[in-house]
Amino acid sequence: MSNKEELLSFIRSSKRRKEVLKLLSKKSLTATDIEEITGMYKSHVSRTIKELSDKKLVYCKNPKDRVFRYYQATPLGKKINLIT
Protein backbone atom coordinates (compact mmCIF):
# COMPACT_ATOMS: atom_id res chain seq x y z
CA MET A 1 0.00 0.00 0.00
CA SER A 2 1.34 3.45 -0.88
CA ASN A 3 1.68 6.25 1.63
CA LYS A 4 -1.28 8.07 0.05
CA GLU A 5 -3.48 4.97 0.37
CA GLU A 6 -2.41 4.51 4.00
CA LEU A 7 -3.34 8.12 4.80
CA LEU A 8 -6.71 7.74 3.08
CA SER A 9 -7.40 4.59 5.06
CA PHE A 10 -6.28 6.35 8.26
CA ILE A 11 -8.73 9.23 7.66
CA ARG A 12 -11.64 7.11 6.43
CA SER A 13 -11.41 4.77 9.42
CA SER A 14 -12.45 7.54 11.82
CA LYS A 15 -15.44 9.86 11.50
CA ARG A 16 -13.76 12.28 13.91
CA ARG A 17 -10.54 12.49 11.89
CA LYS A 18 -12.47 13.06 8.69
CA GLU A 19 -14.63 15.78 10.27
CA VAL A 20 -11.72 17.64 11.92
CA LEU A 21 -9.56 17.49 8.78
CA LYS A 22 -12.47 18.82 6.72
CA LEU A 23 -12.92 21.79 9.09
CA LEU A 24 -9.20 22.58 9.25
CA SER A 25 -8.92 22.41 5.45
CA LYS A 26 -11.28 25.37 5.22
CA LYS A 27 -9.83 27.67 7.89
CA SER A 28 -7.72 27.90 11.03
CA LEU A 29 -9.52 26.93 14.23
CA THR A 30 -8.77 26.34 17.89
CA ALA A 31 -9.61 23.07 19.63
CA THR A 32 -12.44 24.93 21.40
CA ASP A 33 -13.82 26.12 18.06
CA ILE A 34 -13.83 22.53 16.78
CA GLU A 35 -15.47 21.33 19.99
CA GLU A 36 -18.27 23.91 19.62
CA ILE A 37 -18.83 23.24 15.91
CA THR A 38 -18.83 19.44 16.12
CA GLY A 39 -20.16 18.79 19.62
CA MET A 40 -17.19 16.47 20.29
CA TYR A 41 -15.65 16.26 23.73
CA LYS A 42 -12.51 18.36 24.19
CA SER A 43 -10.43 15.23 24.87
CA HIS A 44 -11.60 13.70 21.57
CA VAL A 45 -10.73 16.87 19.68
CA SER A 46 -7.29 17.05 21.28
CA ARG A 47 -6.55 13.38 20.53
CA THR A 48 -7.75 13.75 16.94
CA ILE A 49 -5.60 16.84 16.37
CA LYS A 50 -2.58 14.96 17.78
CA GLU A 51 -3.24 11.98 15.49
CA LEU A 52 -3.56 14.22 12.44
CA SER A 53 -0.50 16.21 13.45
CA ASP A 54 1.59 13.04 13.87
CA LYS A 55 0.73 12.14 10.26
CA LYS A 56 1.70 15.65 9.08
CA LEU A 57 -1.88 16.44 7.99
CA VAL A 58 -2.39 19.42 10.33
CA TYR A 59 -0.08 21.82 12.14
CA CYS A 60 -0.26 24.44 14.88
CA LYS A 61 0.13 27.97 13.52
CA ASN A 62 1.20 29.44 16.86
CA PRO A 63 2.86 26.66 18.92
CA LYS A 64 4.44 29.06 21.44
CA ASP A 65 1.05 30.22 22.70
CA ARG A 66 -0.24 28.28 25.69
CA VAL A 67 -3.86 29.28 25.10
CA PHE A 68 -5.80 29.66 21.84
CA ARG A 69 -3.58 27.58 19.62
CA TYR A 70 -4.76 27.73 16.04
CA TYR A 71 -4.58 24.65 13.85
CA GLN A 72 -4.75 24.37 10.08
CA ALA A 73 -4.45 21.59 7.51
CA THR A 74 -1.10 21.23 5.78
CA PRO A 75 -1.01 21.14 1.96
CA LEU A 76 -0.90 17.33 2.23
CA GLY A 77 -3.89 17.40 4.60
CA LYS A 78 -5.87 19.57 2.18
CA LYS A 79 -5.02 17.23 -0.69
CA ILE A 80 -6.08 14.14 1.29
CA ASN A 81 -9.27 15.92 2.37
CA LEU A 82 -10.23 16.50 -1.27
CA ILE A 83 -10.13 12.78 -2.06
CA THR A 84 -11.83 11.44 1.08
Confidence tier at 1 by pLDDT (50, 70, 90) = low
Confidence tier at 41 by pLDDT (50, 70, 90) = very high
State phi, psi for 29 to the nearest 5 degrees: -140, 155
Confidence tier at 28 by pLDDT (50, 70, 90) = very high
What does 54-79 look like in DSSP terms, one character per residue?
Answer: HTTSEEES-TT-SSS--EEE-HHHHH
pLDDT, position 66: 87
List domains and CATH numbers for the chain: 3-83 (1.10.10.10)
Question: pLDDT digits over 67-81, tens only?
Answer: 899 999 999 999 999
Burial class, 48, CB count within 10 angstroms (exposed 0-12 / middle 13-18 / buried 19+)? buried
Report which of 65, 75, 70 is spatially closest to residue 29, judged by C-alpha positions: 70
Q: Mean pLDDT over residues 11-38, rounded?
A: 96
Answer yes or no: are the C-beta atoms of 59 and 74 closer than 8 Å: yes
Q: Considering the chain, what is the average pLDDT of its residues? A: 94
Report which of 77, 22, 84, 15 is spatially closest to residue 52, judged by C-alpha positions: 77
Q: Is the pLDDT of residue 7 over 70?
A: yes
